[in-house]
């Protein structure tokens, strides 16, 4: 897949599998988010990462 194809590819996750993400993959994802350009460099978003199963369950029930 070339760069343009990768940028055009979209996927909306409908259901999570519960599969754990490797720490190295998570770090790559977080770095990609950090490097994402935003208007005026304001970065008007927050990223929350948790591996706490109880908290994940609570978020799931309330979403």
Segments making up each domain of the chain, as ranges? 3-62
Q: What is the pLDDT of residue 50?
A: 94
Radius of gyration for the chain, computed over Cα atoms and rounded to the nearest angstrom: 15
Residues in the chain: 63
By CB atoms closer than 10 A (0-12, 13-18, 19+), residue 6 is exposed
How many angstroms separate the CA atoms of 56 and 30, rounded?
18
**Residue scoring higher pLDDT (47 or 3):** 47
CA angle, 29 then 11 then 54, to 5°? 60
How many angstroms separate the CA atoms of 63 and 58, rounded?
9
- Dump pLDDT digits (tens) for 8-39: 887 777 777 888 999 999 999 999 999 988 89
The answer to pTM > 0.75 is no
């Amino acid at each position: 897949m070339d760069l343009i194809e990768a940028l055009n590819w979209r996927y909306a996750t409908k259901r999570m599998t519960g599969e754990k993400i490797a720490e190295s993959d998570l770090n790559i994802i977080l770095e990609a988010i950090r490097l994402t350009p935003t208007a005026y460099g304001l970065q008007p978003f927050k990223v929350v990462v948790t591996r706490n199963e109880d908290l994940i369950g609570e978020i799931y029930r309330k979403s």
